[in-house]
Amino acid sequence: MNTDIIKINNIVDDKEKINEAAKKIKNGGIVAFPTETVYGLGADALNEEAVKKIFIAKGRPQDNPLIVHVASKNIDGLVEDTSNIAKNLIDKFWPGPLTLILKKKPIIPNITSANLDTIGIRMPDNEIALKLIEMSGTVIAAPSANISGRPSPTDVERCIEDLSGRVDCILGGHKSDIGLESTILDCTVNPPLVLRPGGVTLEMLREVDNRIDIDPAVMKKSTNDLKPKAPGMKYRHYAPKAKVKIILGERKKTIEKMKEMVDYYIDNNKKVCILTVQENEKEYEKGIKVVLGSRENLFMVAQNLFESLRKCDDLGADIILAEAYEQKGVGIAIMNRLNKAAGFDIIEV
Ligand code: AMP
Ligand code: MG
C-alpha cells in the first residue's frame, strides 16, 4: 500500500493538507495522526470495514476494543445517558488524556467495541487531531499507531517506522506532550474505576469523586484469579526487543545493584542500556545511559519513556535496566508501562 506522509506545521496554513487526510477517513481509509497522549491510528469508528483495517495493519487481537475519539463534549448520539459524574469529568478533563467507558448506542458497530456493550470515548487535546475529526464529519476509532506489542509512537518518525506501507496516510505534527496513553475510567460502575493509569492521575480524578480507585489487577502480573478489566491490559505490551529488568528500592541500593548487573552483563558480552534520570546519571560508569528526565518532574519521564525504549532497541541493547519510580501521581502510569515492558521482571533491593 502507498502511504502518504503529510507533515503539518499549523492548522491554519495546512488546513487543506488535514482535509486530504480527513477525506481518506471519510472514504474508509486508515490514517495515523498526532494526539497529546501518543500517535493514533484512526478510521471512521462507524464504518465496520474501515475499522477492520486497523486491526489488520497493527496485528491487533480482535478482542481488544478501540477508543472512539470525538471533537465535541456532546456525546449524546454515541452513548446512553451519561451520569452526573461522567458529565463532571468531561467538563473538567476534556479535551485531555481521559477515556471514559460508557454504555454505547447501537450506532457504534461491534467491531469497534470488540463486541462489548460499552465503548471507550475521549476528546484529544491536540488541534490537528480535533481538526481531522471535525473535517472527517464522523468520529474516529483510534488505538496507538504502533505494531501491536511495540512501545507506542510519540513522534511521526516512529509511526513511519511501524506503519509505512500498511496505512493510507501518516499525518505528522509535533512530539506527543504526555507520551503515555490516556487514563481509562470505567463509568459504568459506581464509583468509577480506573482500568488504565495515564496522564490524568488518580489524585486529579479524586477531586471530582474521592471514591475513585484503580483496578487492583492493573499493577500486578495477570493470573487466572486476577485479570485486568480492560481487555487490552492483559496483553504483553510496550515491549522493546531487548529484555527489560526493573530495579526497585531506595536510591543507593538501586544504583549499587544496577552497577553490579551492568558488570555482569558486560562480562557476558551483552549490550546493556540503563534507563536513568539526571540525578543518577553520573553514578554509572559503564553501560549506555539513556536519561528520561528528572525525578523532580515525572511528566518529563513519562513523555520520554516510550521513545527511550525504542532508542535502546536502535542502540542494539540486549538488556535494559530501568530504575523504578514512586507510585504516586503520573508515577503510577510510568510504573504500569515499565512493568508491562519488563513482563514484571522486578528485582527488589
Ligand atoms: P489503545 O488505544 O491501543 O491504547 O488501547 C485501548 C485500550 O482501551 C485497551 O486497553 C482496551 O482494552 C481499552 N478499552 C477500549 N474500550 C474499552 C471498553 N469498552 N471497556 C474496557 N476497556 C476498553
Ligand atoms: Mg496501544
Is 152 annotated in a binding site? The answer is yes
Q: What is the CATH number of the domain that holds 289?
A: 3.40.50.11030
| Together in a domain, 151 and 42 | yes
| Together in a domain, 280 and 171 | no
Q: Which atom of ligand 1 is nearest to the CA of 143?
A: 2
**Average pLDDT value for residue range 26-39:** 98
- Residue whose CB lies within 8 A of the most ligand 1 atoms, among 39, 64, 102, for a mutation test: 64
- Out of 219, 235, 265, a domain closes at 219
Q: Is residue 21, in this structure, part of any structural domain at all?
A: yes
| Together in a domain, 248 and 190 | no
Q: Is residue 87, in this structure, part of any structural domain at all?
A: yes
| pLDDT at residue 236, rounded to an integer | 66
Cell numbers placing 261? 548487573
Find the domain containing 90 and state its range.
4-219
Q: Is residue 336, in this structure, part of any structural domain at all?
A: yes
| Together in a domain, 303 and 162 | no
Q: Is residue 229, in this structure, part of any structural domain at all?
A: no
Query: Where does the pLDDT of residue 201 fall: very low under 50, low under 70, confident under 90, or very high at 90 and above?
Result: very high
| Together in a domain, 264 and 196 | no
Q: What is the CATH number of the domain that holds 158?
A: 3.90.870.10
Tell how far the Cα of 114 is from the centroid of ligand 1, in angstroms: 9
| Together in a domain, 121 and 201 | yes
Q: Is residue 107, in this structure, part of any structural domain at all?
A: yes
| Together in a domain, 205 and 265 | no
- Residue whose CB lies within 8 A of the most ligand 1 atoms, among 102, 196, 229, 235, for a mutation test: 196
Find the range with the poorest average confidence among 16-25, 183-192, 204-213, 233-242.
233-242
Q: Which atom of ligand 1 is nearest to the CA of 116?
A: 19
- 324-340 exposure pattern, b = at least 16 Cβ within 10 A, e = fewer: bbeeebbbbbbbbbbbb
Q: What span, in angstroms and rounded, lies between the C-alpha atoms of 26 and 310? A: 32
Domains of the chain: total: 2
| Together in a domain, 196 and 140 | yes
CA distance readout (Å), 3 to 57, 98, 137, 169, 176: 12, 30, 22, 5, 21
**Average pLDDT value for residue range 101-130:** 97
Q: Is residue 235, in this structure, part of any structural domain at all?
A: no
> What residues are in contact with ligand 1 under a 6 Å CB criterion?
64-65, 67, 101, 113, 116, 118-120, 143-144, 181, 184, 195-196, 230-233
| Together in a domain, 63 and 208 | yes
Q: Is residue 236, in this structure, part of any structural domain at all?
A: no
| Together in a domain, 257 and 318 | yes
Is the per-residue pLDDT at 238 higher than 80? no
179 conformational bin, left if phi > 0, alpha if psi -120 to 50, beta if neither: left
**Average pLDDT value for residue range 240-247:** 93
- Residue whose CB lies within 8 A of the most ligand 1 atoms, among 195, 214, 340, for a mutation test: 195
| Together in a domain, 305 and 175 | no
Tell how far the Cα of 60 is from the centroid of ligand 1, in angstroms: 12
| Together in a domain, 204 and 313 | no
